[in-house]
Amino acid sequence: MLITNGLNKIFLPLVVSFFSISCQKATVKPQTPEETISGRPSQPAPVVHGICDNDVSESTLTGWTKIFEDDFATNLAKWNVWQGGAYNNELQMYQANNLQIVNGNLAISAVKETVNGPATPFDATPKTFNYTSGRIESLTNFSASASIPKIRMMARIKLPPGYGMWPAFWSYGDPWPMQGEIDILEGRGQEEFKYQTNYFYGKTAGRNLVRGAEGFVTTDVSLQSCYHVYEVIWSQNSLAFYFDGQLVKTNSGGYVPGLFGKSERITLNLAVGGNFFSNFNPSLIQTGTMYVDWVKVFKSN
């Protein structure tokens, strides 16, 4: 309803998600997925060469078998749609109206509008929001485990411009962070050439143990004017993050082995504001749209 570029649109029905709420019911306020992010601005990093409108030829992915794919041709039947607010001091309410299929792409649009809705999908307390946006979570969970030693999750995405936009492509499970969280992509709308990777893990619900695991990626090509491929290869002892086919960050040791055997669902969302930003000024917010061409998951042969 909010894309105004003249492309054909398919409006999606509301699908209300019913997720596990064990983490949210902790007696002590838990850290929630992504809540432990420091809010630090991106740090200097070697510049990575990107390929504008990069895509992947599956014929080159030898040793891998595809186990999940959505090219967003028709609907969101493979996903749950988040309905309500979120965490991390974000400003938006997530709703189905902000999700559209536009010429074979998923468009997730943040919009400045005043609405009332549940504080979160797990807390029906009414709350007033000044922004709306969209978030989806895969119905299928994935796991690197003894039976599937490596899982490869990837997506082709064009990031939104605009101060305060927080697009993300990630996976997590309940209870958080005992099932872990893997942040394949987190961007800031005011940083056209930068994004971050990260991961979280804990042995108690709501208590993250990982510190300083962020990967800061700086590219020589805009992440907002064209599509790029973001991916992670998850194995027992490492998380290897790739951008347009290039290795940009590897997390190994630490708590990475604790993720092995855990079960996570893929999440795509566009938040507005929140703890990911430092010295945040809400008066400067400029809304935008995140486009996702496809999501694919492979297992090692």
How buried is 270 (Cβ within 10 angstroms: 0-12 exposed, 13-18 middle, 19+ buried)?
buried
> Quick one: pLDDT at residue 46?
81
pLDDT in tens, 134-147: 999 999 999 999 99
Q: Which CATH fold would you assign to the domain 48-280+292-300? A: Jelly Rolls (2.60.120)
Inter-residue contact 69 to 295 (CB < 8 Å) = yes
CA distance 187 to 196: 6
What phi and psi values does residue 183 have, to the nearest 5 degrees? -100, 105
Listed range (21-25, 41-45, 242-246, 247-251) with the worst mean pLDDT: 21-25
CA distance 253 to 247: 17
Kindly provide the b/e burial profile for residues 200-237, where b requires at least 16 CB atoms within 10 angstroms of the residue's own CB: bbbeebbebebeebbbbbbbebebbeebbbbbbbbbee
Picking from 32, 85, 45, the residue whose alpha carbon sits closest to that of residue 197 is: 45
pLDDT at residue 260 tops 70: yes
pTM here is 0.89
Kindly state the average pLDDT of the residues 106-114. 98
CA distance 33 to 267: 11
- Number of other CB atoms surrounding residue 135 within 10 Å: 25
Listed range (19-28, 105-114, 251-260) with the worst mean pLDDT: 19-28
CA distance 126 to 144: 39
Kindly state the average pLDDT of the residues 35-64. 79
SS3 label, residue 155: strand
Picking from 20, 38, 131, 33, the residue whose alpha carbon sits closest to that of residue 85 is: 131
Q: What percent of the chain has pLDDT over 90?
A: 85
pLDDT in tens, 13-23: 444 443 433 33
Encoding tokens for residue 188? Answer: 């800031």
- Number of other CB atoms surrounding residue 75 within 10 Å: 13
CA distance 170 to 190: 20
Non-local (6+) Cβ contacts of 238 within 8 A are: 250, 251, 252, 256
Kindly state the average pLDDT of the residues 81-94. 98
Confidence of residue 120 (pLDDT cuts 50, 70, 90): very high
pLDDT at residue 276 tops 80: yes
Encoding tokens for residue 37? Answer: 């992010």
SS3 label, residue 184: strand
pLDDT in tens, 153-173: 999 999 999 999 999 999 999
pLDDT at residue 40 tops 80: no
> Quick one: pLDDT at residue 33?
54
**CA neighbours closer than 13 Å in the CB half-sphere of residue 107:** 23
Number of helices (H) and strands (E) in the chain: give both, helices first. 1, 20
